[in-house]
Amino acid sequence: MGQSVDRDEVERFRDARDAVLSRIEAAARRAGRDPGRVTLVAVSKTVPAARIRAAVEAGLDVLGENRVQEAEAKSPDVAGAAWHLVGPLQSNKARRALGLFAMIQSVHDLDLARRLDRLVRDEPGGAPFPVLVQVNVDRDPAKAGFDPDALAAALPELDACGALDVRGLMTIGRAVADPDDARPTFAALRELSGRLRRQWPRLGPELSMGMSDDFEVAVEEGATIVRVGRALFGERPPTR
Ligand SMILES: *Cc1c(COP(=O)(O)O)cnc(C)c1O
């Protein structure tokens, strides 16, 4: 595999990154927040390794992927990035995911949490592994994630997963025509986080919410991690 990088592509990614970062900054300021507290995760699913290399060189060095296999295939050809899993994780791929990713944002149920916890414990000298708990805020049957009410009841079991460093919560907003319609989902995740953290201080403050169409609203509502694909890489091929 060649490790070449297209200079024009790097420049285009610099511009795209600057544009998204200034929109994040403006949204943070509107909400009286520190823009430095928002991490931009560049969601690179379906994007070939050569383009991702240009993106990383342009400073987009935290990447989000939704499939273990795809990340596994591309990551050897992309140096200098931290990869986050943002998509569904089947338990038979949990071990590989732990080897690949710096963070698993999509811990969607207790079985997966327990399985990851066991695998991390089995690693000699393994440090707690960074994860986010995925919440199905809108109770959408098509989406994975903890039911917001069930999560409070699951805290003792999650607490028993001591090998997981639970940095916070993640949600996938509903598809909306007007970004403002996503606001109640994001506000609900922030409120849930506040409530749960009073009960369970080990839950970290991260809030991963907001994608290309609604990340500014998410930042206004407290997002500390936004997951942006199309606004950086362009439209994806339709068949996914
Ligand atoms: C694809 C994806 C994103 C990015 O979506 P865009 O609309 O391209 O910004 C964010 N989060 C998850 C979980 C995704 O699967």
Pocket of ligand 1 contains residue 145 by CB under 6 Å:
no
Report residues of the chain scoring pLDDT below 70. 1-2, 239-240
Domain of residue 122 covers 7-232
Judge whether 166 lies within some domain. Answer: yes
| CB distance 211 to ligand 1 below 6 Å | yes
Q: Output the pLDDT for position 81.
A: 98
What pLDDT digit, counting tens, does each position of 210-220 carry?
A: 999 999 999 99
In a domain, 240, yes or no: no
| Alpha carbon of 211 to ligand 1 centroid (Å) | 6
Is the beta carbon of 132 within 6 A of some atom in ligand 1? Answer: no
Q: Is the CB of 230 under 6 A from ligand 1?
A: yes
Closest Cα to atom 13, ligand 1: which residue?
A: 86
Which of ligand 1's atoms lies nearest the C-alpha of 106?
13
Q: DSSP of the chain, one letter per residue?
A: ------HHHHHHHHHHHHHHHHHHHHHHHHTT--GGG-EEEEE-TT--HHHHHHHHHTT--EEEES-HHHHHHHGGG--S-EEEE-S---GGGHHHHHHH-SEEEEE-SHHHHHHHHHHHHHSTTPPPEEEEEEB-TT--TTS-SB-HHHHHHHHHHHHT-TTEEEEEEE--PPP-SSGGGGHHHHHHHHHHHHHHHHH-TTS--EEE---TTTHHHHHHTT-SEEEESHHHH-PPPS--
Q: Does any domain span residue 112? A: yes
Give distance in angstroms: CA of 172 to centre of ligand 1.
Answer: 8
Closest ligand 1 atom number to CA of residue 86: 13
How many angstroms separate the alpha carbon of residue 86 from the centre of ligand 1? 8
Q: Ligand 1 atom 8: the closest Cα is on which residue?
A: 229
The CATH number assigned to the domain holding 177 equals 3.20.20.10
Ligand 1 close to Cβ of residue 47 (< 6 A): no
With respect to residue 73, please indicate whether it lies within any of the assigned structural domains.
yes
Interval between CA 228 and ligand 1 midpoint (Å):
6
CA 196 – CA 190 distance, rounded (Å): 10
42 alpha carbon to ligand 1 midpoint, in Å?
A: 9
Number of domains into which the chain is organized: 1
- Ligand 1 atom closest to residue 66's alpha carbon, by position in its atom list: 15
176 assigned to some structural domain: yes
Structure confidence at residue 65 (pLDDT): 98
Is residue 239 situated within a structural domain? Answer: no
Is residue 238 included in any domain, yes or no?
Answer: no
